Structure formats: structure tokens, C-alpha cells
Structure 1
Amino acid sequence: MEILSLLLLLDLTSFSQALDFWTSHVDNPKTRISGSSHHYCNVMMKQRGLITRSHCMPVNTFIHETNSTLINICATPSVSCGRLSLERCNKSSQSLKVTYCYTKSFARPPDCGYRAKIDFAIIGVICVEGQPAYLLQP
């Protein structure tokens, strides 16, 4: 019974990591929000729970691609995440549609002001059990 509980716990941990990735970083199709691209960031950061009463997340990336496109990143050959990292990363084979949201100077909760940069970029992820679980921020 203990082994079954441990396996269930490990599975829930993987599920939780993947859920955090999809909730924090995926917006496809891109949510239509009236106003400027900066307004998009302000609304989405609040809507996705990325602003707390005591913290403005300084940067976040929203990816505007299909789930299958993102899952397929995990099928690419993995590479080292960096000189000091033991983690293995996977990178998209093509540029993907993204919106970067950056806090403006002196942003303080609950009114964290964001500026947006709409771009196409190669993204890097750490995969867990074949699913993107962590996004490597630029």
C-alpha cells in the first residue's frame, strides 16, 4: 500500500508541475482583451494568479501555440540547460508566438503594472514524463 501511495504522490507531483506550466504560460488561442498589449499583460497576470498581495512576478511569458506543438517540444533531443545545471532541457525547433510581460519600474501589488513585448521566439522547457513542466525564461 505504501508503494501505491508513493507512486500516486509522484504522479500528482508531475501533474501539478505540468498544470502550473499550462496555467502560467499557455494562452492559445490568445485571449482577446480590448486595449493595448500592455493591458493584455495586466489582465492576464491577474487572471492567472501570478500576482499576489505581496509580490509582482517580474517577468512571465505567454505562449500562443497549440498543446500538441508544446508537447512535441519534449520529443526533441534534450540539451544541457547550462554550465552549472544537471537538468536537461528541450528547445522548440521553430520560433513560437509569445507575449513577454515585464513589470514596469516601481511596480507594487496589487497594482502591478506590466509592459508587453509580442514576439516569435525559440523557447526552452524542462519536461517531466513527456510534458512541459517548466519554462526557461529569457
Structure 2
Amino acid sequence: MPLSEYEQRVLEQMERALTSDDPRLANTLQSSGRRPVIRYVVAAIGLVAGLLVLVLGAANSKPILGVIGFAVMFAAVGWAFAFAPRSKGPEGVVRADGSVGARPAAKGRGGKPGLNKPGLMARLEARWDRRREQGR
């Protein structure tokens, strides 16, 4: 039984609110989490070929073959897991009236040059600052 127009609008608003409130959870629920199987098959073939070259190098006392075999194995595994699909995150923020607006711009840190950096270090520094403020 199909949803009515009202139910579809409410469901879309709920989806936008979830994406706005918790983008990581929304991304987890939306993504299939599967990579193409061919990538793993090619990586497995590269891994086995590298292992064979490594063993042949060790059996024939040729260290250069062992190094090449190890490099092929490392490259095959690295290639299999290197190119994970990345999501761009939520499209916008749901306002109180149910409309969707653009995401707010990231705020700087007191106008200090060079300290407006995204990523892991910024999150760790923010967490450290919060802990220091709670300890006072």
C-alpha cells in the first residue's frame, strides 16, 4: 500500500532531520558498505603472485626476488583497501519549520591564523579544551 503525500513529506522531513542531527548514523544506514568484488579478486591474485615470488626468492637465495615479492603483496593489499568510497555528508540543516537550508559555515578559532584546521587534530584539541574547562 503506497504512502499518502502527507506521509511521504513527513518521512522525508524525518530523513532530513536524521541526516542533520547525526550524519554519521545516517551515512551508515544509507551506505551499502560493499566494495566491488573484482577489487578483492585482483588483490587476492596479486597477493598470491607476490607470495610465490617471495618464496621463489627465498628458495633460490635471491633476496631481490623476496623484496619484489613482498612489495607486490603489500601493493595488492594496499590497493584493495585504499580507495574507500567517501560520502559528502548531509546536504543541509532542517529548520524548526521543516524547511531545509544550507549547512552553516565552519567557525574559526578566535581569528588566530593557521588554527582553523579540520580533521583529527582539531577534534582532539577541542576535546582537550573541553576537559580542561570541566576540570576548573
Q: TM-score range by the shorter chain?
A: under 0.3
Question: Which structure shows the bigger proportion of residues in helix conformation?
Answer: 2
TM value normalised by structure 2: 0.24
| Larger CA Rg, structure 1 vs 2 | 2
Indicate the structure whose relative CO is greater, using CA pairs within 8 Å and at least 6 residues apart.
Answer: 1
TM value normalised by structure 1: 0.24
